[in-house]
Amino acid sequence: MNGSMQDFSRRTTAGAEAGVSQRSLRASIGCVGPGRQRKVALTLRPACPDHGIIFRRCDLGIDIPVDHVHSDDTGHATVLTRLGASIVGVEHVLAALGSRGITNALVEVDGPEVPMLGGATMDFIFLIDCAGLIEQGPAATMCCGAQ
């Protein structure tokens, strides 16, 4: 998974470096679903150009950027880790964001894993489609109050 995570992080930052259009969510949207030990809340939020995809452990106040440095494949789930904080099972959220071409988003999670929902990417694609998409120009030409 590290190879594909590296490719994903390149895609989410390449637009910023080249000054081309980027994409984010039009509005925030959230869900609550089962985790392995308790219910988990997840909120997808719009982000400014050049922000990239960042997961936030709200319970710990730690942000984890999506890149190959912070990722690990456990064999059954992709884990993002930074400063001792981990988020398990991010692969379906990342696949959904990537399928819609989203380069900038903040993904807030209130615990150590994303909700399992139906166990498929389509559930997160549904959330993204409900929130809508917004095309963004380079950060130097845009002002963004989202976050």
Q: Render pLDDT for 67-122 as a digit per residue (tens, 0 to 9).
A: 865 555 556 688 999 999 999 999 999 999 999 999 999 999 999 999 998 878 99
- Whether 1 has a pLDDT exceeding 50, the answer reads no
Sign of CA dihedral 100, 144, 6, 111: negative
Domains of the chain: 2-139 (3.30.230.20)
- Whether 12 has a pLDDT exceeding 60, the answer reads no
Secondary structure of residue 145 in the 3-state scheme:
coil
Identify the pLDDT of residue 43: 98
Taking residue 88's Cβ as centre, other Cβ atoms within 10 Å add up to: 20
Report percent pLDDT > 90 for the chain.
65
Identify the pLDDT of residue 4: 46
Identify the pLDDT of residue 71: 57
Mean pLDDT for all residues in the chain: 84
Identify the pLDDT of residue 37: 87
Beta bridge partners of 134: 24
pLDDT digits (tens, 9 = 90+) for 20-70: 689 999 999 999 999 988 999 999 999 999 999 999 999 999 999 998 655
Q: Which residue has the higher pLDDT, 136 or 118?
A: 136
Residue with structure tokens 């489609």? 129
The CA distance from 120 to 109, in Å, is 17
Provide the phi-psi class of 133: left if phi over 0, else alpha when psi is between -120 and 50, else beta.
Answer: beta
Identify the pLDDT of residue 69: 56
Task: Tell if the pTM clears 0.85, that is, is over it.
Answer: no
Sign of CA dihedral 143, 61, 110, 55: positive
In terms of Cβ atoms closer than 10 Å to its own Cβ (0-12, 13-18, 19+), residue 123 is: middle
